[in-house]
Amino acid sequence: MKKIINTENAPAAIGPYSQAIEANGTLYISGQIPINPETGKIVEGGIIEQTEQVMRNIEAILKEAGYSFSDVVKSTCLLSDMSNFKDMNEVYGKYYSENPPARAAFAVKELPLGVMVEIETIATK
């Protein structure tokens, strides 16, 4: 059975998708971009500030669904420029200090709303 996960503590979807879907003990979190859910605006600053906001958004969705970062098994990181990889990786690593998930990181031509980073996440219990 499929369950829609939605929280006001993460940005609302900006298109026809859900923040997350839980199915058969697995949580699929849509790609999160650095929108502050309180203001509805992209956070100011560079890749460090944007990655921090993305990770806070992921954390809010995980919490709403009853999961934590320790349940994450796979992440996909999309970057607008691979030169931001090192700084993104340092922020990301703070959230996965033990037993980090499998991960892929790609540079893409463009991301929604001109952001520098988007991360999608899969967690399981």
Q: What CATH number is given to the structural domain containing 25?
A: 3.30.1330.40
Report the predicted TM-score, pTM, of the whole model to 2 decimal places.
0.96
pLDDT tens, position by position, 34-81: 999 999 999 999 999 999 999 999 999 999 999 999 999 999 999 999
Class of residue 21 by CB neighbours under 10 A (exposed 0-12, middle 13-18, buried 19+): middle
* Number of domains observed in the structure of the chain: 1
pLDDT tens, position by position, 17-35: 999 999 999 999 999 999 9
- Tokens 């829609």 correspond to 4
Q: Which residues lie below 8 Å from residue 41, measured CB to CB, with a gap of 6+?
A: 35
Look at residue 13 and tell me whether its pLDDT is greater than 90: no
Domain hosting residue 58, numbered range: 2-124
Look at residue 15 and tell me whether its pLDDT is greater than 90: no
pLDDT tens, position by position, 90-110: 999 999 999 999 999 999 999
